[in-house]
Amino acid sequence: MEALKSAHIPDLGTLGSDSGFRFLSQTDDGRFLAGKSGVADIVETGDGKVEFVSFGSHSLACVKSAVASPAYYPIYPVRLDMPLKAVLMDLDGTTVRSEEFWIWIIQLSISSLMGNPKFEFEDADIPFVSGHSVTEHLQYCIDKYCPGKSLEAARNFYFEHTRREMKEITEGRGRDGAFTPSAGVKDFLLALKSAGIKIGLVTSGLYEKAWPEILSAFKTLGMGAPEDFYDAIISAGFPLHKGAAGTLGELSPKPHPWLYSETAVVGLGIPFAERHHVLGIEDSGAGVCAIRIAGYTTVGIGGGNIIESGTKSLCCHYKETFADILKIINGGTN
């Protein structure tokens, strides 16, 4: 692995040394080698979660996995055409500030797994325990802190802590400030509604943890029932656990594109051919990758781990506030 000097990735652009990407001599699975069989360049995001392979005229994205096979996706060109038909929005960190809460739950789970009540994450862990699936987060922690420990046991602790804390919160107790609506999100959502723009809420969170977040945020905002407000809400489904069937939600979430694709195409009825009329907003590196691989204009918002994960170059725009994003929507700037 080398520091990236400059590489052109078709339909992404030219990535320089300040992009946060790194140059690779080959993909992690060994399938492609730079300079061989038509491959021009291979780069990866700063957090190492997604690789991009340039063939000169086209490119592929490879979403890696700590627990399963990698997946390759074609990269499509993006642009923003008016009229804007839909805005796709992430939940954690974008619509609701709750990332610290879920990182704390992961920390509690690993603490229980290790039998060490004093266990705490290092700053360097944060990009790897936020923005991805629960299984990815837990596997990263096991690999680093307790190799050989059971992923199944870690997941059991995770859901034990989650269900306890969610019950406490829904009953008016629990961790203070766990779910706080992001600054400016109410005015932003209402502006979209008044403009007739469809709104899809997209989360890698499993339903049992995502839905209380949404309910809590809308109660705080005084906006009524979220299912009546949003045009589509897609979560990562239901967890597999003893005595109950699970849905596909652990190996397919962000940075894979499927949650965003399903929200736009199935939930909002916007075919892929009309994707240039859709804009996605994310605060995490995994989410940015998901939107971009899905083929939609990608807007990063500050406050998450986009900079730390080395994915800012995948953003068509990067803004600090919803007011700034609304200017893009009103101005139609690409």
Domain end marker among 170, 198, 228: 170
Q: Do residues 142 and 187 share a domain?
A: no
**CA gap 315, 282 in Å, rounded:** 9
How many domains would you assign to the chain? 3
Shared domain check, 194 and 136? no
Using an 8 Å Cβ cutoff, are 310 and 45 in contact? yes
Task: Using the predicted structure, report yes or no on whether residue 134 has a pLDDT greater than 70.
Answer: yes
Would you state the pLDDT for residue 41?
A: 93
Position 130 confidence tier, pLDDT thresholds 50, 70, 90: confident
Amino acid at 173: R
Based on the fold, state whether residues 188 and 298 are members of the same structural domain: yes
User: Considering 125, 146, 170, which residue would you say is the last residue of a domain?
Assistant: 170
Q: Are 276 and 295 in contact (CB under 8 A)?
A: no
In this prediction, residue 332 carries a pLDDT of 54
pLDDT for the residue numbered 178: 77
Biggest CA–CA distance in the chain, Å, is 60
Would the pLDDT of 220 be above 80? yes
Residues 195 and 282 occupy one common structural domain:
yes
Q: How confident is the model at residue 242 (pLDDT cuts 50, 70, 90)?
A: confident
Half-sphere exposure of 261 (CA within 13 A, CB side): 16
SS3 (DSSP) at 266: helix
pLDDT tens-digit profile of 173-198? 777 667 889 999 999 999 999 999 99
Do 201 and 148 fall into the same domain? no
* Same domain, residue pair 63 and 155: no
Range of the domain at 52: 2-74
Domain boundary pick from 143, 170, 197: 170
Torsion angle defined by CA atoms of residues 235, 322, 278 and 130, in that order, rounded to the nearest 10 degrees: -40
Query: 210: which DSSP letter?
Result: H
Together in a domain, 156 and 203 = no
Work out the pLDDT band at 2, boundaries 50, 70, 90.
low
Which tokens belong to 213? 């977040």
| Cα distances (Å, whole numbers) of residue 318 to 286, 332, 334 | 15, 15, 12
Q: Is residue 246 part of a domain?
A: yes
**pLDDT score of 4:** 54
In a domain, 129, yes or no: yes
Residue 81 lies in a domain: no
Are 26 and 42 within 8 A, CB to CB?
Answer: yes
Quick check: is 221 in a domain? Answer: yes
pLDDT of residue 170: 74
Q: How many helices (H) and strands (E) does the chain have?
A: 9, 16
Do 212 and 258 have their domain in common? yes
User: Does 70 share its domain with 91?
Assistant: no
- Average per-residue pLDDT for the chain: 91
Residue 71, Cα to own-chain centre: how many angstroms?
Answer: 16
**Whether 28 and 165 share a structural domain:** no
> Could you tell me the CATH number of the domain that includes residue 303?
3.40.50.1000
Judge whether 138 lies within some domain: yes
Q: Is the pLDDT of residue 251 over 90?
A: no
Same domain, 18 and 67: yes
Q: Does the pLDDT at position 153 exceed 90?
A: yes
Q: What are residue 26's DSSP bridge partners?
A: 33
Q: From residue 203, how far is each of 89, 115, 231 by CA, in Å?
A: 8, 31, 14
Tokens encoding 205: 């969170």
Place of tokens 């069937």: 245
Six-digit token pair at 116?
């060490």
Tell me if 18 is assigned to some domain. yes
Residue 72 has a pLDDT of 97
Q: Token pair for residue 154?
A: 């870690």
Task: Name the CA dihedral angle for 136, 138, 143, 144, rounded to a multiple of 10 degrees.
Answer: 110
Same domain, 121 and 144: yes
What is the pLDDT at residue 99? Answer: 82
- Is there a domain that residue 79 lies in? no
The confidence score (pLDDT) of residue 147 equals 96
Helices 134-145 and 99-114 pack at an angle, to 10 degrees, of 50
Among all chains, which residue has been given the structure tokens 């209380």?
A: 212
Phi, psi of 175 (to 5 degrees): -70, 125
Query: What is the amino acid identity at position 127?
Result: P
Q: What is the pLDDT of residues 267-319, one digit of tens each?
A: 999 999 999 999 999 999 999 999 999 999 999 999 889 998 999 999 999 99
Distances (CA, A) of 316 to 54, 264, 277, 279, 328: 19, 18, 14, 10, 11
User: Does residue 233 lie in a domain region?
Assistant: yes
How confident is the model at residue 239, as a pLDDT? Answer: 79
Q: What is the pLDDT of residues 26-68, one digit of tens each?
A: 999 999 999 999 999 999 999 999 999 999 999 999 999 877 8
